[in-house]
Amino acid sequence: MHIPVLEKEAIEYLEPKANENFIDCTAGNGGHATSLLEKTAPKGKLLAIDWDENQIQYLKTKLQIFKSRVILVNDNFANLKEIADKNKFKKVSGILLDLGFSSWHVDESKKGFSFQKNEPLDMRYSCQNPLTAEKIINYWSEIDLERIFREYGEEQFSKQIARGIIEARNVVQIKNTFQLVEIIKRSVLPVYHHEKIHFATKTFQALRIAVNSELDNLEKGLLASLKILEKGGRLAVISFHSAEDGIVKNFLRIGEERGLFKILTKKPVEAKEEEIINNKRARSAKLRVAEKI
């Protein structure tokens, strides 16, 4: 079961009221979406977006009780402005971006998001995306592999892992997660084989971000949110990675300097110890919120 991270805090900052309209850019399993729809009753509407067609199909059932109050769209939030225009979705009081990927992707998608299961190296949220983790691993240059592991994964052994991949794929094509995990294991120092954070975590994270162009899409989505929000509307972003948080922090800072936003979270809101105990994914989550002025 997917547990939304910082759900209580995000909803409190968004301050949804009766009959207001909101956008959930990463609707996922519908945790935040349900809360927003409940608090904006009886006439408030929600534009719920997700790039994964499987998540949208799931939400059709989960959110059917809200009937005409919810609009489901299978698309990337990078296209937020076009999506809102196409659906004539206006008077937006708040926009939420939860940048974490759903536990469904790890547990059920069979797309290789987890290093603990032997699955194809896919990692795509959308099947319409032509790029897969397998293509990156088998065809990208050593320089590019090292760069994404370093920049997207903050992996200290990025050079060694990139070199290990090149050497391995010269012998046989790398097609599944366990092949990749074994390469990573050989590439890092043995002392890291038993660390609290699994030695393959950062490499898998970097690949997921690269496959789905997550950082580029985030920048596009943030810019679009500024155009869509009503005056006084709020933007809430939950990030799980320092590069994501850096993009959000910089965007809001520049927006405030230009008189476009008022930042409501001078420091990012982080999960309390109780939430982290119940949901380990919450340990790296950061919530930043701003109000359009």
Residue 182, in any domain of the structure? yes
Q: Are residues 25 and 95 in the same domain?
A: yes
Q: Specify the number of domains making up the chain.
A: 2
Cα-based distances in Å from 137 to 150, 198, 205: 15, 20, 13
Confidence bin at 278 (pLDDT 50/70/90): confident
pLDDT in tens, 34-60: 999 999 999 999 999 999 999 999 999
Residues 11 and 93 in one domain: yes
Averaged over 226-244, what is the pLDDT?
A: 96
Q: Mean pLDDT throughout 213-236?
A: 97
Residue 199 included in any domain: yes
Q: What is the mean pLDDT of residues 145-156?
A: 96
pLDDT the model gives residue 105: 80
**Out of 20-29, 81-90, 187-196, 253-262, least confident range:** 187-196
Q: Provide the sign of the torsion angle of the four alpha carbons 214, 217, 221, 223, taken in this order.
A: positive
- Residue 40 structural domain: 7-104+214-292
User: Is 120 domain-assigned?
Assistant: no
Cα–Cα distance, 28 to 100 (Å, whole number): 9
Q: Are residues 207 and 221 in the same domain?
A: no
Residue where a domain stops, chosen among 141, 176, 211 = 211
155 and 219, same domain (yes or no)? no
Residue 283 has pLDDT above 90, yes or no: no
Does pLDDT of 259 surpass 70? yes
For residue 134, list its beta bridge partners: none
Do residues 74 and 16 both lie within one domain? yes
pLDDT at 168: 98
Please check whether residues 19 and 99 belong to one and the same domain. Answer: yes
Residue 1 lies in a domain: no
Give percent of the chain above pLDDT 90.
Answer: 87
Please tell me the number of Cα atoms within 13 Å of 155 on its side-chain side. Answer: 29
Whether residue 97 is found in the same domain as residue 46 = yes
**How far is Cα 211 from Cα 52, in angstroms, rounded to an integer?**
14
Q: What is the largest CA-CA distance in the chain?
A: 62
- Cβ 103 vs Cβ 218: under 8 Å: no
Read off the pLDDT of residues 78-124 as tens digits, 9 standing for 90 and up: 999 999 999 999 999 999 999 987 777 888 889 999 999 999 999 99
Angle between helices 242-257 and 214-228 (to 10 degrees): 30
Whether pLDDT at 185 is above 60: yes
- The pLDDT value recorded for residue 192 is 87
**Same domain for 158 and 224?**
no
User: Are the C-beta atoms of residues 289 and 264 closer than 8 Å to each other?
Assistant: yes
For the segment 254-276, the average pLDDT, to the nearest whole number, is: 95
Of 179, 211, 243, the last residue of a domain is 211
Q: Is residue 274 assigned to a domain?
A: yes
Q: Rounded CA gap, 9 and 14, in Å? A: 9
Residue 204 within a domain: yes
Question: Last residue of some domain: 167, 196, 211?
Answer: 211
Q: What is the pLDDT at residue 111?
A: 95
Beta bridge partners of 291: 234, 262
CATH number at residue 134: 1.10.150.170
Mean pLDDT, the chain, rounded, equals 95
Query: pLDDT at residue 1 above 70?
Result: no
Across 18-34, average pLDDT: 95
Strands 286-292 and 261-263: antiparallel
Question: What does the H/E/C string look like for the chain?
Answer: CCCCCCHHHHHHHHCCCCCCEEEECCCCCCHHHHHHHHHCCCCCCEEEEECCHHHHHHHHHHCHHHHHHEEEEECCHHHHHHHHHHCCCCCEEEEEEECCCCHHHHHCCCCCCCCCCCCECCCCCCCCCCCCHHHHHHHCCHHHHHHHHHHCCCCCCHHHHHHHHHHHHCCCCCCEHHHHHHHHHHHCCHHHHHCCCCCCHHHHHHHHHHHCCHHHHHHHHHHHHHHHEEEEEEEEEEECCHHHHHHHHHHHHHHHHCCCEEECCCCCEECCHHHHHHCHHHHHCEEEEEEEC
Q: How far, in Å, CA of 181 to CA of 14, rounded?
A: 40
Whether 207 and 218 share a structural domain: no
Report the CATH number at residue 76: 3.40.50.150
User: Would residue 267 count as lying in a domain?
Assistant: yes
- pLDDT classification of 2: cutoffs 50, 70, 90: low
The answer to the question of residue 117 being in a domain is no
Pair (180, 220) in one structural domain: no
Cα dihedral 212, 215, 220, 224, rounded to 10, equals 100
pTM: 0.92
pLDDT of amino acid 4? 79
Tell whether 271 and 255 lie within a shared domain: yes
187 and 233 in a single domain? The answer is: no
Q: Which residues pair with 21 in a beta bridge?
A: 92
